Amino acid sequence: MKYRKIISAMCVGVISLAFMSTFLCAADEPGKLVMKTIDSGLTVLKEPSLKGPEKTQERRQRLWEEISFIFNFEEMSKRALGQHWKKRTPDEKREFVELFTNIMKDAYIGKTDTYSGEKIVFLREKQEDNKYATVQTKIISNTGTEVLVDYRMLSNDGKWTIYDVIIEGVSLVNNYRSQFNNILMKSSYEELIQKIKDKKGKEEISAK
């Protein structure tokens, strides 16, 4: 009777290990890439020589160099414009991608200025037919608040890039698409571009 228990316990152990190992193998590609990039970003934020408000610009620049490669800004812009993307000329597309990249950079790199030791934990990842993947992570703040952040990823010849970030169910790209659609329903594409540029200008003034 005792042996039976021991043997069954061992069996359970072996089987769960086998499952675990396949899971660990699966966690290889997109999940590992995201976590590695986040870790290198956090290293920059924790770097003592880059702390303090006077180092803000330098720190932002370093951080941008570390993490920007993982984002697919063209895909983000395309999805954010939705059905309006097709109607644009290649030049307009290039300009739009540049503007949209700048919005992302200012908004989300700027957020890291208030970094105060938040932890980022990997939860799980899902892959669909080798082309799309979702990496789920959680940010835990010092006060114990937890924020779920999902990264939607796309594989281009085995190179994984992020095309959307979903924070507590709010998709960044969908959020901008709602805004752009709303503006484009009432006004022209040129006016939208002007609005984006105006915003950038305003921010530069307020930063000075």
Q: What does the alpha-carbon distance between residue 75 and residue 31 come to, in Å, rounded to a whole number?
A: 19
CA atoms in the 13 A half-sphere facing the CB of 8: 5
- E-strand ranges in the chain read 119-128, 132-140, 146-156, 159-167, 170-171
The CB-of-208 to other proteins minimum distance in angstroms stands at 17
The torsion of the CA quartet 197, 201, 203, 204, rounded to 10 degrees, works out to 140
For other proteins (CB under 8 A), the number of binding residues is 37
**Where in 71-90 is the site for other proteins (CB under 8 A)?**
79, 82-83, 85-86
**Where in 114-133 is the site for other proteins (CB under 8 A)?**
114
Q: Which position among 16, 21, 43, 178 is part of the footprint of other proteins (CB under 8 A)?
A: 178
Told to check if 42 binds other proteins by CB under 8 A, we report no
Applying CB under 8 A, the span of 12-20, 62-70, 101-109, 119-127 interacting with other proteins comes to 101-109
Told to check if 195 binds other proteins by CB under 8 A, we report yes
Told to check if 25 binds other proteins by CB under 8 A, we report no
The DSSP secondary-structure symbol of 71 reads: B
CA atoms in the 13 A half-sphere facing the CB of 143: 2
Told to check if 170 binds other proteins by CB under 8 A, we report yes
- From 100, 69, 131, select the one nearest 200 (Cα to Cα): 100
Footprint on this chain of other proteins (rule: CB under 8 A): 79, 82-83, 85-86, 103-104, 106-108, 110-111, 114, 142-145, 168-171, 173-183, 185, 192, 195-196, 199
